[in-house]
Amino acid sequence: MQATEFSKRYTPEEYLALEEKAEFKSEYHDGEIIPMTGGSLNHNEIITNLWSLKSQLRRQGFRFFSSDVRLWIPQYRKFVYPDVMIVQGDPVLYQNRTDTIVNPKLIIEVLSKSTQDYDMTDKFRYYRSLPELQEYILISQYFVDVQQYTKTDEGFWIYRSYESTGETLRFGTIEVEIKIAEIYEAISFESA
């Protein structure tokens, strides 16, 4: 008789308790705890470059959150750490936790080789289940490539790509723009 190995399934509450004590971040996928991979210099630099949006956003009543704030996706029972989330007005907290929100209007992910397929497919499907989400941006850290998905009033998603540092990313749901060259400032594609 062959022994069957069962991995432990965790409740959201068990995961959150473990995450509070953990040295490294993990995501929660409907009972499973998934360790997160570390970031690269390019990954971190791109997120840092996006911080330039913060003052423009604040003046318009938006909040900018980086990857230390968790997102709860109720339909799929997932806790994830997007690279950047932008919230209109005040964040809606998951069970009054100050480290987890449920209402991003815009999410930005910096693609890595280990997660890019997931970020472009399943993770985008999970994000689309959030009623507040209106825009999703994917940024490559290996070459100039920014992909923009914007939700229309009819619920369709429109795609646009930027492949030149001479272009300007104009967000579809917030009145803010950033030059592609600014997103990629100080990025070394050779090291990637």
Domain annotation for the chain: domains and CATH numbers? 39-69+82-183 (3.90.1570.10)
The per-residue pLDDT for range 141-180, each reduced to its tens digit, is 999 999 999 999 999 999 999 999 999 999 999 999 999 9
Question: How many H helices and E strands in the chain?
Answer: 6, 13
- 172, 157 Cβ separation under 8 angstroms: no
Instruction: Tell me what pLDDT residue 1 has.
Output: 44
Q: Pinpoint the alpha helices (H) of 51-105.
A: 54-59
Q: Minimal CA–CA distance to 53: which of 45, 43, 63?
A: 63
What integer pLDDT is reported at residue 42 of this predicted model? 95
pLDDT score for 36: 87
Q: Which parts of the chain register pLDDT below 50? A: 1
